[in-house]
């Protein structure tokens, strides 16, 4: 085991028998943020900071549903998606399973019902888990909101974060092959944003551990199993660095600029037709069909804007020119790599997991 969290996870999965593990994971699924509806409707979340398509980012910020008037979580191209449903379920159940396993071997863990005892086999405490642990703050004119998967206190005495990811076994093996940089490239912006929001709240986060695991263990007799490693898990720790705060704030400012421009009817342009990533994985349809408007037809989601344009004092009805390219435009000096942008036509990357 190369990281203490990998050992803790494997020990936790051994410490609780399967029925109880499933029950604990299921209990985790039932946790809710009881104040969710009272929070700011337009908020900058870590996953929004990591969003690759600038048009999709502002549509999400403005709460566009996959199709106007139709709200559905597991959607692709404006339609229900069985594949997305599986990916979401894999992510949410995976998170519950890991929380259940780690809480079995920590020292103490906090729940909405009070402080509970773990076995103490590993020297850390769990201070809170998503979704009842919430980070919320105002900064640079934006409302930030994050649901950190796990907030822990380590032996060092400092609070740290764990971000749980359950990629497909194919993506996982690619991360193993390509090393920690590939995990940072994929999840770096999100981890930085989580730490940023927590630090704004006065919690001095210095580390965010990206814990990736898959549902497929190593086969008995494999080199890994013979070395004592039964589960496919990797942890990549992202440390806080100078400049991360500015990186997060600059993207939040850009979102606010895009929001103000959208109010005037000017939206970021979409990726070219035929772009496979990320468009094939997007919850919006790239082009219109009999059921769906294309992602650029924003007036179908917000007819109010069309009406307000028609009512401009100069009587102009021409839509403003589109703004800029849809790339996420991280600052060039950013210490955090943006999410990967494979060339058009590539289908190698998996869809983002729920966060
Ligand atoms: S379909 Fe493509 S261009 Fe349109 S919002 Fe989604 S990712 Fe962006």
Please, is 31 exposed, middle or buried when counting C-beta atoms within 10 Å of its C-beta (0-12, 13-18, 19+)? middle
Q: What is the mean pLDDT of residues 96-123?
A: 96
The closest alpha carbon to 106, from 40, 160, 30, belongs to: 160
Residue 259 CA to ligand 1 center (angstroms) comes to: 17
Q: Is the pLDDT of residue 46 over 50?
A: yes
Q: What is the mean pLDDT of residues 243-255?
A: 98
139 with 193: CB under 8 angstroms? no
Q: What is the mean pLDDT of residues 323-342?
A: 37
Ligand 1 mutation pick, 277, 295, 297, 351, max ligand atoms within 8 A of CB: 295
Q: Is the pLDDT of residue 317 over 80?
A: no
Atom 2 of ligand 1, residue of closest alpha carbon = 279
Q: What percent of the chain has pLDDT over 70?
A: 86
Q: Which residue has the higher pLDDT, 140 or 157?
A: 140
How does pLDDT run across 255-265, given as a tens digit for each residue? Answer: 999 999 999 99
pLDDT of residue 352: 36
Q: What is the mean pLDDT of residues 170-199?
A: 94
Model confidence band, residue 308 (pLDDT cutoffs 50, 70, 90)? low
Model confidence band, residue 55 (pLDDT cutoffs 50, 70, 90)? very high
pLDDT of residue 291: 85
pLDDT of residue 344: 35
Q: What is the mean pLDDT of residues 135-163?
A: 95
pLDDT of residue 333: 33
Ligand 1 pocket at CB < 6 A:
53, 55-56, 270-271, 278-279, 282, 284, 286, 295, 326
Ligand 1 atom closest to Cα of residue 275:
2
Residues 6 or more apart whose CB falls under 8 angstroms from that of 30 comprise none
Q: Is the pLDDT of residue 280 over 90?
A: yes
Atom 7 of ligand 1, residue of closest alpha carbon = 279
Q: Which CATH code, of 3.90.320, 1.10.3470, 1.10.1760, 2.40.50, is assigned to 4-51+75-250?
A: 3.90.320
Residue 56 CA to ligand 1 center (angstroms) comes to: 6
Residue 146 CA to ligand 1 center (angstroms) comes to: 24
């Amino acid at each position: 085991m190369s990281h203490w969290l990998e050992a803790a996870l494997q020990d936790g999965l051994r410490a609780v028998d399967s029925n109880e593990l499933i029950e604990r994971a299921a209990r985790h699924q039932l946790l809710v943020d009881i104040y969710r509806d009272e929070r700011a409707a337009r908020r900058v979340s870590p996953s929004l900071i990591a969003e690759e398509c600038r048009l999709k980012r502002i549509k999400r910020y403005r709460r566009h549903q996959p199709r106007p008037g139709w709200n559905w979580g597991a959607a692709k191209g404006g339609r229900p998606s069985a594949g997305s449903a599986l990916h979401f379920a894999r992510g949410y159940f995976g998170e519950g399973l890991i929380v259940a396993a780690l809480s079995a071997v920590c020292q103490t863990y906090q729940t909405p019902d009070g402080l509970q005892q773990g076995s103490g086999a590993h020297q850390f405490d769990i201070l809170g888990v998503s979704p009842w642990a919430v980070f919320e703050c105002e900064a640079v004119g934006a409302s930030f909101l994050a649901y950190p998967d796990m907030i822990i206190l380590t032996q060092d005495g400092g609070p740290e974060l764990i971000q749980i990811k359950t990629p497909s076994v194919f993506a996982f093996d690619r991360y193993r092959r390509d090393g920690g940089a590939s995990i940072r490239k994929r999840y770096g912006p999100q981890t930085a944003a989580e730490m940023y929001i927590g630090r704004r709240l006065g919690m001095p986060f210095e580390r965010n551990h990206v814990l990736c695991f898959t549902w497929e263990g190593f086969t008995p007799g494999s080199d890994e199993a013979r070395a004592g490693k039964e589960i496919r898990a990797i942890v990549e720790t992202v440390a806080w660095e100078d400049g991360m705060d500015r990186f997060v704030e600059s993207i939040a400012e850009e979102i606010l600029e895009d929001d103000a421009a959208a109010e005037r009817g000017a939206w970021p342009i979409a990726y070219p037709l035929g772009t496979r990533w990320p468009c094939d994985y997007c919850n919006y349809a790239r082009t219109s069909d009999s059921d769906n408007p294309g992602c650029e037809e924003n007036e179908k989601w917000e007819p109010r804007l069309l009406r307000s344009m028609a009512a401009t004092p100069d009587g102009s009805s021409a839509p403003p020119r589109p703004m800029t390219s849809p790339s996420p435009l991280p600052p060039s000096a950013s210490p955090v790599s943006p999410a990967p942008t494979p060339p058009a036509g590539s289908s190698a990357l998996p869809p983002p997991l729920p966060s």
